[in-house]
Amino acid sequence: MKAIRLEEPGRFTRISLEPVTAVLQPDEALVRVHRIGVCGTDIHAFRGDQPFFTYPRILGHELGVEVLELGGSAFASYGATGPAEGFGPGGYCAVEPYLNCGACIACRQGKPNCCVRLSVLGVHVDGGMRETLIVPIRKLHPSKNLTLDQLALVETLAIGCHAVDRAGLEKGEFVLVIGAGPIGLGVMQFAIEAGAQVIVLDINAQRLEFCRRRLNVPYVIDASRENVLAALAEITTGDLPTAVFDATGNGRSMASAFEYPANGGRLILVGLFQGEITFNDPNFHRRELTILASRNARPDDFTRIIALIEAKRIDTSPWITHRARLSDVVTEFALWTKAEIGVIKAMIEA
């Protein structure tokens, strides 16, 4: 079976793996990987600036797959919530790549996304840049209607969906999203879906225009040209936004994000920064801010997103800007890491 492996920062190779011959456990499925979305995590792994990353690694955690075979008494083990009608060989699924232990405090509280022993497919263990893969059946989220491209986008969207869930947005409230990269775009789509009035802040005019035109975001602020606080005050008639999402993963941006929420508001940190963030305590206390981290996504985010795409309430058409065959990843990938190429989502066809 063909696969692509990242041997070390900056170097992919084409490899050939033994075909899967092991007998599946009752809770496992063998799947054919058809689509692999590329995201910031993969780009960090390629650049070698993700300290916890180990090499070599087969990347790929945003997957659109087809079920080939289910282990043992698979249907019984799929549990009370499933299997969905028609779930079985030949069915298409999104994959929830967060492999959790099921026993720790977070898992016991229904938060497998932040499991103490979390292992992410394509990050901590080898992922989906290959033809076939064994995954736990409970990590498959089927759909009879979504395309394989759409199924591979579900995980990216789930990051934004979960962040919006964390904030508990109410209809009509002003929400600021800092950072118009893929994570920010997901947050914006679900904030709009929740009925919020979305403002996007970025320093890239092209990305801001994209948000306005393709995502129908009503308010955009270009931090490279505008005074951000003054612009926020003008849009919100002096109130400031009641929820602020940081989707930059940039330490300086995250620190300045503490300046933007309204009194009594909340700040949701979605992007991850490898370091410390400091803030002024009186400024934080005076406004009684709530800070929330948002990590990965929960299983019900996946089912909800699939239903929203099926109902045409989430539009996936703006997302995919670049495409390649699995064997071309070795040469194409470096290009996708360049800002001027304007990649929103590169999709690999395996």
Binding site for Zn ion (CB under 5 A): 39, 100-101, 104, 107, 115
Would you call 210 exposed, middle or buried from its count of C-beta atoms within 10 A (0-12, 13-18, 19+)? buried
Q: Which is nearer to Zn ion, 110 or 195 (CB)?
A: 110
CA-closest candidate to residue 272, choices 62, 80, 40: 40
User: How far apart, in whole angstroms, are the C-alpha atoms of residue 111 and residue 71?
Assistant: 26
Would you call 280 exposed, middle or buried from its count of C-beta atoms within 10 A (0-12, 13-18, 19+)? exposed
CA-closest candidate to residue 68, choices 86, 35, 91: 91
Q: Which is nearer to Zn ion, 22 or 101 (CB)?
A: 101
Q: Considering the complex, what minimum distance in angstroms separates the CB of residue 89 from Zn ion?
A: 27
Q: Which is nearer to Zn ion, 62 or 202 (CB)?
A: 62
Q: Considering the complex, what minimum distance in angstroms separates the CB of residue 273 from Zn ion?
A: 17
Q: Which is nearer to Zn ion, 102 or 264 (CB)?
A: 102
Would you call 350 exposed, middle or buried from its count of C-beta atoms within 10 A (0-12, 13-18, 19+)? buried
User: How far apart, in whole angstroms, are the C-alpha atoms of residue 48 and residue 205?
Assistant: 28
Q: Considering the complex, what minimum distance in angstroms separates the CB of residue 274 from Zn ion?
A: 17
Q: Which is nearer to Zn ion, 107 or 320 (CB)?
A: 107
What is the three-class DSSP state of 112? helix
Q: Considering the complex, what minimum distance in angstroms separates the CB of residue 64 from Zn ion?
A: 13
Q: Considering the complex, what minimum distance in angstroms separates the CB of residue 231 from Zn ion?
A: 30
Q: Which is nearer to Zn ion, 23 or 339 (CB)?
A: 339
User: How far apart, in whole angstroms, are the C-alpha atoms of residue 278 and residue 97?
Assistant: 32
Amino acid type, 191: A
Amino acid type, 177: V
Q: Which is nearer to Zn ion, 4 or 221 (CB)?
A: 4
User: How far apart, in whole angstroms, are the C-alpha atoms of residue 287 and residue 319?
Assistant: 36
Q: Considering the complex, what minimum distance in angstroms separates the CB of residue 41 from Zn ion?
A: 5
Q: What are phi and psi of 72, to 5 degrees?
A: 20, -125
Q: Considering the complex, what minimum distance in angstroms separates the CB of residue 292 from Zn ion?
A: 20
